[in-house]
């Protein structure tokens, strides 16, 4: 057996036990509640799926749980915006730096010239990115985003969670403030209706997925934009490189530096408890554990990924 085959069979054999060990970490977190509909998520759930280029999957724990992608979807709207507008078009509206502030912070928009969001993975940046998605109406933009998600996930039944969408839209006072601030700073232009831009944003955040979907999407990124089943280049390699770099520097909120040290892989988490990560050229990985730590990341999910990275020496460094 070669080294990678040996790793794969060890992963399959050990994963259920490792999930149960990490599951204990759910006691140290709780589901997000600022979007009221997310508060009822199963607090002790933990699931994972790992997919390799041949299409084989190893999954364990609550990998059948459906959850909303939330901020994980921002990686894909970024890719779509890059495909629609090119690098120059995107980087006129968002920067390339981590903020060190909370994901929904308004601080630097006012403090630092030229008043564009620091990066596309914080809320202000992702709202700006939503305005860059091509389409005549918010419905058309949303439809294009979902078509893209379905293509990468290899499942044309992916839909949004209406209840989570409605719950976020009804309570998103902070995201509304950010969006109006962006309008004042002219990041959102005259043609950009603030409520319409927000609608696209809430819709893509509410996209429902399982760990398997997230693993497959992560695998496309791990393969530099290539569909593992067809070999088709779905996303230009350069844009995937940009997205993965942002995942590495800003994907885990204010714990991105810590995650880089502990796990050493590009990753993006969302407030519903999902994490998408990948081992370049080898695996896409989807994790869900709705109990979040103080930084907004899945307590058990991060614990499990640290275990795997150490066990198999996955850190990029």
From the list 138, 268, 272, 247, the residue with the least C-alpha distance to 201 is: 138
If one asks whether residue 271 binds ligand GLU (CB under 6 A), the answer comes out as yes
Q: Is 4 a catalytic residue?
A: no
Is 104 or 185 the residue whose CB approaches ligand GLU more closely?
104
If one asks whether residue 123 binds ligand GLU (CB under 6 A), the answer comes out as yes
What is the Cα–Cα distance from 101 to 118, expressed in whole angstroms?
A: 10
What is the Cα–Cα distance from 147 to 149, expressed in whole angstroms?
A: 6
Beta bridge partners of 67: 209
Build a one-symbol-per-residue string for 80-109: x at contacts with ligand GLU by CB under 6 A, - elsewhere. -----------------------xx-----
Q: Is 307 a catalytic residue?
A: no
From the list 244, 267, 219, 228, the residue with the least C-alpha distance to 72 is: 267
Smallest distance, Å, CB 312 to ligand GLU? 27
Is 39 or 234 the residue whose CB approaches ligand GLU more closely?
39
Catalytic residue among 187, 235, 244, 253: 253
If one asks whether residue 70 binds ligand GLU (CB under 6 A), the answer comes out as yes
Hey, what are 190's tokens?
């005259």
Q: How many residues bind ligand GLU (CB under 6 A)?
A: 10
Smallest distance, Å, CB 291 to ligand GLU? 15
From the list 48, 43, 49, the residue with the least C-alpha distance to 25 is: 43
Catalytic residue among 22, 165, 197, 201: 201
State which H helix or E strand residue 279 sits in: strand 274-279
What is the Cα–Cα distance from 141 to 149, expressed in whole angstroms?
A: 13
Q: Is 108 a catalytic residue?
A: no
Q: Is 201 a catalytic residue?
A: yes
If one asks whether residue 181 binds ligand GLU (CB under 6 A), the answer comes out as no
**Mapping DSSP to helix (H, G, I), strand (E, B) and coil, where does residue 76 land?**
helix
Among 188, 205, 219, 302, binds ligand GLU (CB under 6 A): 205
If one asks whether residue 71 binds ligand GLU (CB under 6 A), the answer comes out as yes
If one asks whether residue 270 binds ligand GLU (CB under 6 A), the answer comes out as yes
Is 47 or 228 the residue whose CB approaches ligand GLU more closely?
47
Is 103 or 148 the residue whose CB approaches ligand GLU more closely?
103
If one asks whether residue 168 binds ligand GLU (CB under 6 A), the answer comes out as yes
Is 71 or 142 the residue whose CB approaches ligand GLU more closely?
71
How many C-beta neighbours within 10 Å does residue 85 have? 17
Q: Each residue of 252-281: b (16+ CB within 10 Å) or e?
A: bbbbbeebbebbbbbbbbbbbbbbbbbbee
Instruction: Judge contact between 6 and 14, C-beta under 8 A.
Output: no
Among 22, 175, 256, 309, binds ligand GLU (CB under 6 A): 175
Q: Is 74 a catalytic residue?
A: yes
Q: What is the dihedral of CA 228, 231, 233, 235, to 10 degrees?
A: -10
Pair type for strands 283-288 and 274-279: antiparallel
State which H helix or E strand residue 224 sits in: none
Interface of this chain with ligand GLU, residues 238 to 267, rule: CB under 6 A: none
Is 11 or 38 the residue whose CB approaches ligand GLU more closely?
38
Residues near ligand GLU (CB under 6 A) are 70-71, 103-104, 123, 168, 175, 205, 270-271
- Catalytic positions: 71, 74, 201, 253, 271
């Amino acid at each position: 057996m070669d080294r990678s085959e040996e790793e794969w069979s060890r992963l399959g054999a050990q994963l259920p036990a490792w999930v149960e060990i990490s599951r204990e970490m759910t006691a140290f977190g709780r589901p997000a509640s600022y979007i009221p509909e997310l508060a009822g998520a199963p607090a002790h759930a933990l699931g994972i799926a790992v997919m390799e280029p041949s299409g084989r999957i190893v999954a364990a724990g609550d990998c059948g749980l459906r959850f909303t992608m939330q901020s994980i979807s921002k990686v894909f709207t970024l890719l779509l915006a890059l495909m629609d507008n090119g690098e120059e078009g995107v980087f006129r509206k968002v920067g390339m730096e981590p903020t060190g502030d909370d994901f929904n912070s308004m601080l630097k928009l006012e403090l630092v010239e030229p008043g564009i969001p620091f990066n596309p993975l914080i809320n202000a940046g992702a709202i700006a990115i939503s305005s860059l998605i091509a389409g005549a109406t918010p419905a058309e933009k949303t439809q294009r985003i979902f078509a893209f998600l379905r293509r990468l996930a290899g499942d044309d039944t992916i839909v949004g969670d209406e209840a989570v969408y409605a719950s976020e839209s009804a309570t998103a006072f902070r995201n509304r403030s950010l969006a109006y601030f962006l309008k004042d700073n002219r990041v959102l232009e005259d043609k950009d209706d603030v409520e319409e831009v927000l609608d696209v944003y809430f819709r893509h955040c509410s996209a429902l997925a399982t760990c398997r979907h997230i693993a497959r999407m992560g695998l496309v990124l791990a393969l530099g934009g290539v569909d593992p089943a067809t070999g088709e280049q779905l996303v230009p390699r350069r844009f995937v490189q940009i997205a993965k770099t942002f995942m590495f520097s800003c994907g885990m909120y204010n714990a991105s530096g810590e995650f880089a040290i502990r796990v050493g892989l590009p990753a993006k988490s969302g407030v519903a408890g999902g994490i998408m990560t990948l081992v370049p050229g080898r695996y896409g990985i989807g994790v869900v554990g709705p109990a979040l730590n103080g930084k907004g990341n899945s307590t058990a999910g991060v614990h499990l990924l640290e275990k795997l990275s150490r066990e198999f020496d996955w850190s990029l460094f």
